[in-house]
Amino acid sequence: MPQKQKAKSWMELKQAGNECFKTGQYGDATNFYSQAIKELEKANKKNPEDLAILYSNRAAAYLKDGNCGECVKDCNMSLELFPFNVKSLLRRAAGNEALERYRQAYVDYKTALQIDCNIASAHDGTNRMTKALIEADGPSWREKLPPIPTVPLSVREKLMQQTAANTAQPNAKPQQNGTRQTDKPAPSDKDIKKGQALKEEGNALVKKGEHKKAIEKYSQSLKHNPAEVTTYTNRALCYLSIKQYRDAIKDCNEALMIDSSNIKGLYRRAQAHKELKDVKACVDDLNSLLKVEPKNMAALKLLQEVQKKK
């Protein structure tokens, strides 16, 4: 008699799901993750975090297959088991965005940025949701948002370590979408507040035309919160004003490493390239910007200007 085949463990099923995911077989990946969830739920020593990762992985497969409703449901399950799991937050945000639930997506993108302020896809998502919500709700769009949960510092630090250690999830890559890799811990709440206060002092100085003093404030702000995109783009504006074009380019590079499609970073770098007579680099930046915002009048005007000089 043929021997009965031994049932696969949840770990083997998860691995099979990961392999299918990598080769684009999302339906098969979903089936393997579903079997793994059943096996793990039957196990006596089940770890909530392992189960949360399986739900999050299945959510990723559903998302790739266009089944956004099921993706959101699985992310809800994952986040109940493992609160503030970054991948589950980002996948739920993407699912809700596809379902045009822009407020919920905005909240998840912003929550993910509290945990790791270097996630380019979360910066991009926040920008997209902001535009969609302004169009839908007008100037008072923020008043209609659900509350954004505050992620405690202890949770942020723990999750950053776990995210760095966890490389077995599907579509995990060392670097994605212009996200900067960093070994630095996320800034503390105190640092973020101090950085924001200094940035606002810099903004006030810009309004008075005191660009050199503003640069000092922005530089101090970045010591407290080195991943705040707008501080780099604001300081780049000041460097442009005092004709330090190479410094402006450096700041725009920093901003674009954090958020690869940042409009101000692309536009100000294009302005600096124009002043340095690097027409090709200027045109490349403007074309990248216009892919994100095809009707950006300032970019269209600058592009017309530099192309005339070619």
Residue 199 banded pLDDT, cuts 50, 70, 90: very high
Q: What percent of the chain has pLDDT over 90?
A: 55
Instruction: Say what the pLDDT of residue 69 is.
Output: 93
Instruction: Say what the pLDDT of residue 60 is.
Output: 93
What pLDDT, in 10s, does the model give residues 160-184? Answer: 665 555 434 444 443 333 444 444 4
Instruction: Say what the pLDDT of residue 181 is.
Output: 41
What pLDDT, in 10s, does the model give residues 236-275? Answer: 999 999 999 999 999 999 888 877 778 999 999 999 999 9
Q: Does residue 226 carry a pLDDT above 70?
A: yes
What pLDDT, in 10s, does the model give residues 69-88? Answer: 999 999 999 999 988 899 99
Query: pTM of the entire structure?
Result: 0.54
Q: Mean pLDDT, to the nearest integer, of 208-217?
A: 94
Domain with CATH 1.25.40.10 in the chain: 10-82, 189-309
Q: What is the DSSP string of the chain?
A: -PPPPPPPPHHHHHHHHHHHHHTT-HHHHHHHHHHHHHHHHHSSS--HHHHHHHHHHHHHHHHHTT-HHHHHHHHHHHHHHSTT-HHHHHHHHHHHHHTT-HHHHHHHHHHHHHH-TT-HHHHHHHHHHHHHHHHHHGGGGGGGSPPPPPPPHHHHHHHHHHHHH---STT--SS-TTPPP--SPPPPHHHHHHHHHHHHHHHHHHHTT-HHHHHHHHHHHHHH-TT-HHHHHHHHHHHHHTT-HHHHHHHHHHHHHHSTT-HHHHHHHHHHHHHTT-HHHHHHHHHHHHHH-TT-HHHHHHHHHHHHH-
What pLDDT, in 10s, does the model give residues 284-301? Answer: 999 999 988 888 899 999
Superfamily the domain 189-309 falls into: Tetratricopeptide repeat domain (1.25.40.10)
Superfamily the domain 10-82 falls into: Tetratricopeptide repeat domain (1.25.40.10)
